[in-house]
């Protein structure tokens, strides 16, 4: 299970004295369908249906974490984009790696960020610059509490990810059911439109 692999990664990071937080998420169904249509692929071909975010303390630890993951006997690294070395135009920084489970060939994405990069990504650059400029401990505590509340909804699923592989399989089936239903409806609408045009000629 992917949940077990995450536990292994977490244990390896602790052995390396890398303090970390790990969160997981499933791509939203609407986003899945949009991407399937745009790329013309089946749901099982998507590489970021499942994403794991690893948050560490520093930039150096991001690269140390990537090295530890690459050395895992349970995972194969397929592709990496380094947005730390080459940030996006909006300043976004992170390492994005597409991984594959050795025993199931399931592909998923791992994002590695420092705490600073995560605040930038979640709250915006301006908010984070304001945070860095404010040194008062009380205000910092208030900011952190607000930050946790903002991120909570996106991360509250982490405790329910035991048996994730079975959940993903059912999730994929449901996506395909919706996809085929919509496709059948489109064919029906197209056929009815042609009949209407023909009848008016």
What domains are there in the chain, each with its CATH number? 2-114+149-200 (3.30.460.10)
Q: In which element (H, E) is residue 79 found?
A: strand 75-82
Q: If phi over 0 gives left and psi between -120 and 50 gives alpha, with beta otherwise, what is residue 95?
A: beta
Q: Which residue has the higher pLDDT, 60 or 132?
A: 60
User: Would you report the helix, strand and coil content of the chain in percent, each value rounded to 5?
Assistant: 60, 20, 20
SS3 of residue 75 by DSSP: strand
Question: Which pLDDT score is estimated for 162?
Answer: 47
Alpha-helical regions (H) of 76-163? 115-123, 125-133, 137-155
Q: Which residue has the higher pLDDT, 50 or 176?
A: 50
**What are the backbone angles phi and psi of residue 35, rounded to the nearest 5°?**
-70, -40
Q: Which residue has the higher pLDDT, 2 or 77?
A: 77
Q: Which residue has the higher pLDDT, 44 or 91?
A: 91
Instruction: Identify whether the C-beta of residue 109 lies closer than 8 Å to the C-beta of residue 75.
Output: no
Beta-carbon count within 10 A of 195 CB: 10
d(CA 70, CA 132): 33
Instruction: Identify whether the C-beta of residue 68 lies closer than 8 Å to the C-beta of residue 16.
Output: yes
Please report, for the chain, how many H helices and E strands are present, in that order. 7, 5
The model's pTM: 0.60
From the CA atom positions of the chain, what is the Rg in Å? 21
Query: 31, 33, 14: which is closest to 22 by C-alpha?
Result: 14
Question: Which pLDDT score is estimated for 19?
Answer: 92
> Which residues on adjacent β-strands are paired with residue 109?
51, 98
* Mean pLDDT lowest among 44-48, 120-124, 175-179: 175-179
């Amino acid at each position: 299970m992917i949940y077990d692999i995450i536990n292994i990664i977490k244990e390896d990071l602790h052995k390396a004295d890398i303090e970390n937080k790990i969160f997981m998420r499933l791509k939203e169904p609407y986003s899945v369908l949009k991407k399937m249509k745009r790329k013309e692929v089946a749901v099982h071909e998507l590489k970021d249906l499942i994403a794991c975010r690893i948050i560490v303390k520093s930039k150096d630890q991001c690269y140390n974490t990537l090295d530890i993951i690459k050395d895992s006997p349970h995972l194969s690294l397929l592709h990496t984009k380094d947005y730390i070395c080459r940030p996006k135009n909006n300043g976004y920084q992170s390492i994005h790696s597409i991984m594959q489970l050795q025993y199931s060939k399931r592909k998923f994405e791992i994002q590695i960020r420092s705490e600073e990069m995560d605040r930038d990504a979640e709250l915006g650059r301006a908010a984070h610059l304001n945070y860095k400029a404010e040194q008062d401990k009380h205000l910092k505590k208030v900011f952190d509490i607000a930050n946790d509340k903002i991120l909570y909804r996106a991360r509250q699923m982490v405790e329910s990810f035991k048996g994730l592989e079975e959940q993903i399989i059912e999730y994929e089936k449901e996506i395909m059911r919706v996809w085929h239903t919509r496709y059948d409806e489109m064919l029906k609408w197209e056929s009815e439109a042609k009949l209407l045009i023909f009848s008016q000629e």
